[in-house]
Chains A and B, each alone.
Chain A
Amino acid sequence: MDFLRPSTWEEALAAKAAHPEAVPIAGGTDVMVELNFDRRRPPALIDLTRVAALGEWGTDGDELRVGAGVPYRRIIEELGDALPGLAMASRTVGSPQIRNRGTVGGNLGSASPAGDAHPPLLAAGAEIELASVRGTRRVPAKEFFVGPKRSVLAPDELIAAFRVRPTAGAEQFAKIGTRNAMVIAVCSFALVLDGAARRVGTGIGSAAPTPLRATAAEEFLAAELDWESRAPVPVAVAAEFARLVAAAATPIDDVRGTAAYRRHALSVLARRTLTWAWGGMR
């Protein structure tokens, strides 16, 4: 096995182009588990932790551009105000040790349906910036995931960053697990209520082959909310929103929960996050 150590982004892209079968390693919190348990024997690792650009974030016009290598801890500490939904989700990832090291880029790279960064990125309408020696492209988060642990990332590409327009409104994230910390989600839900754009964004985790948006629920709620007067959400509207969110999911029965439980739990999370988010805007 080779260990490649690019120190610039250009070197990293060149390394990935020359060794498409090499596995990039950022925080290592997914990759090392696979190596330690002999589940993976790649011919080479590409260490991304020396590429300073991946650990940077900044504004680009009205967008925030956050490098793929920014760990959860820094998202919570440095971007909690700008990206509250993602910060809330980041706080539920693993333990401090995992959050100190794990990155959103690595979460996207693994493309697990249960990845906690995915629902808030979906709800916020984020775009993922992918790069290779051939150039850079942007993929909406909604189109990034193509199956369980599969994404549109090409063999010679790396994830450079994600881009998102901070919301003028409220964001929420909620996750169900068997304990309060250190658990993979049984299901999770992210909600964005953008008062300025009158847009509703959703993200569902762990309840389908990929993380996904509940588009019908988004459209329904955007039309029903009284954005002008910010009147309380009628009970029937909240219930229908919850029903549409649950209907968008295609969960399975597994060791963590049954499909029926996941659907029910999602509808509860949808209703609760709506109450919290709308309450926060009134």
Chain B
Amino acid sequence: MRVNCTINGEKRQADDVWPGESLLYVLRERLGLPGSKNACEQGECGSCTVYLDGTPVCSCLVAAGQAEGRDVVTVEGLEFGRVQEAFLSAGAVQCGFCTPGLVVAVHDLLARNDKPSDPDIREALAGNLCRCTGYEKILDAVRLAAR
């Protein structure tokens, strides 16, 4: 089947989509947007987080057809700004695999709450796993971006 949606502000079309396929697969394999990472395909790691109609979701858990006509923003579509800068200067990026998902999640947190407390940050990032950083630097990055 064919799926049409807006991705990062552009109208995009994907063809030959298998109906059980995830939005993540369409983004990475059909549309050449590898920013969203595929790690667990079961909603556990958050590395595939994208905005769907303005709400952060795991793109591995969205059926491609559910994105028809919707608005998707991936990490590639986020303007480079204080979130990404804070990740770099706090050293919150090691292998970088979790970073795109975290950047989307933090972007959303700060859009809703520009003075998050530590518990707010922990709750907001509970769905994003990082194998490398031990999270302390990630927490530092969020505190830095919030300032």
Contacts and interface: CB of A to CB of B under 8 A. Distances in A.
Interface of A: 1-3, 5, 25, 27-29, 31-33, 35-37, 41, 44-45, 47, 49, 73, 94-98, 100-101, 180-182
Contact of A1 (B18, B66, B124): B18
Contacts of B41: 33, 36-37
B61 A29 contact: yes
B68 to A, nearest CB: 7
A35 B42 contact: no
Contact of B126 (A25, A36, A95): A95
Contacts of A28: 61-63, 66
9 contacts: A3-B63, A5-B68, A32-B61, A41-B20, A45-B20, A95-B127, A97-B58, A101-B57, A101-B61
Contacts of A33: 41-43, 61
B141 interface: no
A265 B64 CA distance: 41
Contacts of B127: 94-98, 181-182
Contacts of B56: 96-97, 100
B100 interface: no
A97 B68 contact: no
B36 interface: no
A264 to B, nearest CB: 27
Contacts of B65: 3, 5, 45, 47
A200 B125 CA distance: 36
Interface string B46-78: 100100000111101111011010000000000
Contacts of A180: 126
A29 B40 CA distance: 13
Contact of A96 (B18, B42, B124): B124
A37 B66 CA distance: 19
Nearest to B41: A36
A32 B49 contact: no
Contact of B43 (A1, A49, A73, A94): A94
A77 B111 CA distance: 16
Residue of B41, B58, B128 ringed by the most chain A CB atoms within 10 A: B58
Given A3-B63, A96-B127, 20 more contacts: A1-B19, A2-B19, A28-B62, A28-B66, A35-B22, A36-B42, A47-B65, A47-B66, A49-B66, A95-B46, A95-B128, A96-B56, A96-B105, A96-B124, A96-B126, A97-B56, A98-B43, A100-B57, A101-B62, A180-B126
B123 interface: yes
A182 B40 CA distance: 14
B116 to A, nearest CB: 12
Contact of A3 (B19, B46, B126): B19
A160 to B, nearest CB: 20
Nearest to B44: A182
Given A5-B65, A97-B58, A29 B19 contact: no
Interface in B1-55: 1, 18-20, 22, 41-44, 46, 49, 55
Contacts of A45: 19-20, 63, 65
Given A49-B66, A95-B46, A101-B62, A181 B19 contact: no
Interface centre among A41, A94, A100, A181 (most CB of B within 10 A): A100
Nearest to A179: B126
A212 to B, nearest CB: 27
A47 B22 contact: no
Nearest to B17: A3
A5 B2 CA distance: 13
A253 B46 CA distance: 30
Contacts of B20: 1, 35, 41, 45
